[in-house]
Amino acid sequence: MALILKSHTLPCSGTPYLVNNFKPIEAETTAFDLEVIGHVPEALNGRLLRIGPNPAGAPDPAHYHWFSGSGMAHGLRLRDGKAVWYRSRYVRDASVAAALELPLLGGPGAGLRDGSVNTNFTSVGGKLYAVVEAGSLPVELSYDLESVARTDFNGTLEAGFTGHPKLDPVTGEQHALAYEPGQPVRYISLDQNGYATTKARIDLPHIPLIHDMAFTASFIVIPDLPVTFQPERSEAQFPWLWDERRDARIGLLSRNGDVANIQWFEAPRCFVFHFMNAYDDGELTIIDLARHPRMFDCDHHGPNEGAPTLVRWTLDRRSGRLSETPLDDHGTEFPRINDRFGGHPYRFGYTAHWGRDVRFGPAMKHDMMRGSTEIHHYGPDRMTLEPIFVRKPDALAEDEGWIMSYVYDAARNLSDVVILDAQDFTGEPVATIRLPVRVPFGFHGEWIADDILPPPAI
């Protein structure tokens, strides 16, 4: 069964985040010619990637935090209607090298920015990178997910990066907000050639946790929420905690980086890991997000402070006021969209269930125009991770594509990759690919098409 944390007996250690499908897998895996139920669309040529924490050694449960473990990358390669291979590989940080007696990874940042990289992927300048926030540098990965080297993007990254770069479909750049102790919050633009530009440095009176960001055609959305750097109070390895001293606010920074004219809005006192999308509508800025009631208050070892819900924040730039509208009352997290609509009006979003007590389950499709939600149940004790939208070739409609996700089957203690038709969301899967291992609950993933990052020539 998946982890269930009873809200009246919150954990005083990280043990619950080291058992069931949070438990690290013990070895890297390589498997070929995987079983397929149904038919893999022949247009899907590329890799479906996942990443999450997977400590290489035996962590101390008393101090373990789910967010702190070394990264493990998982990848499924599809080609010509076949599931060619599945691989899992550690992202080789300093602790992985020590635990597995491997050579230290080359590149900048040795001894300073070589901690765990476990959160997400980005591709830029013809290369694939694993990324993380709060200090450690991105790690370049090979096509087969082997760690190549740490990178500071050709010397253009001033400090650490982010776990959530957001691709702008109009300009082709990636927007990022980076935070870490000892640094101002930095708004970074990463161009298509892999060069980073710090466009703004935002000095705040504290160090907030900024996991994700959003952007519109005119603005960068800056969350300044009451989870701040408090290492003196933390019971775990993760030093960001709920801060009763801080109110919540959200800022709009002009994309030219004019810090002096940031417009701040008082926001509901809550925490936000993830934004679904944002866009401008005349004098209004619309922001859709997964709203947690609070974070790292009672539980210092993981994100267990109640179920998040999908809401809309409407920022009136004339009055300076923010209003909130509930969009869905299911527990929802890990929101994704058709990335061609990033920063612009859109209709459809996709989320994974995140219920009370960190309980995962079905996937959801949200229709912002109709205010409706469709739910795809994968079956008893089957739990999806982040659903990823992949556009069909020559698609015209916004939802003309596939939803791909890693799905954990608790009864079998194994995982599958399941492909849905986004326009037949509640229907039978297009394909289910059986994996030889389980993929632990983790963070984010991406579809990397071979025409974007091709395999090496043989």
Q: If you classify domain 15-449 with CATH, what class do you get?
A: mainly beta
Q: What is the pLDDT of residues 335-357, one digit of tens each?
A: 999 999 999 999 999 999 998 87
The residues facing 417 across adjacent strands are 406, 433
Check residue 156 and give its pLDDT: 98
Check residue 8 and give its pLDDT: 37
pTM for the predicted model, two decimal places = 0.96
Check residue 358 and give its pLDDT: 83
pLDDT band at residue 12 using 50, 70 and 90 as cut-offs: low
Average pLDDT of span 236-251: 96
Tell me which residue has tokens 């635990």.
99
Average pLDDT of span 98-124: 95
- Per DSSP bridges, beta strands 185-190 and 196-202 are antiparallel
∠ CA 362-368-373, rounded to 5°: 30
The length of the chain, given as a count of residues: 458
What SS3 class is residue 115? Answer: coil
Q: What is the pLDDT of residues 151-181, one digit of tens each?
A: 999 999 999 999 999 999 999 999 999 999 9
- Per DSSP bridges, beta strands 227-229 and 321-328 are unpaired
Which residues have a Cβ under 8 Å from the Cβ of 70 and sit 6 or more positions away? 53, 54, 55, 56, 90, 91, 93, 95, 96, 116, 118
Check residue 7 and give its pLDDT: 38
pLDDT band at residue 457 using 50, 70 and 90 as cut-offs: confident
pLDDT band at residue 4 using 50, 70 and 90 as cut-offs: very low
Could you tell me the residue ranges of all domains in the chain? 15-449
Task: State yes or no: pLDDT of 2 exceeds 60.
Answer: no
Task: State yes or no: pLDDT of 3 exceeds 90.
Answer: no
**What percentage of the chain has pLDDT greater than the value 70?**
97
DSSP symbol at 21: G
Average pLDDT of span 216-232: 98
pLDDT band at residue 458 using 50, 70 and 90 as cut-offs: low
Rounded Cα distance, 164 and 40, in Å: 29
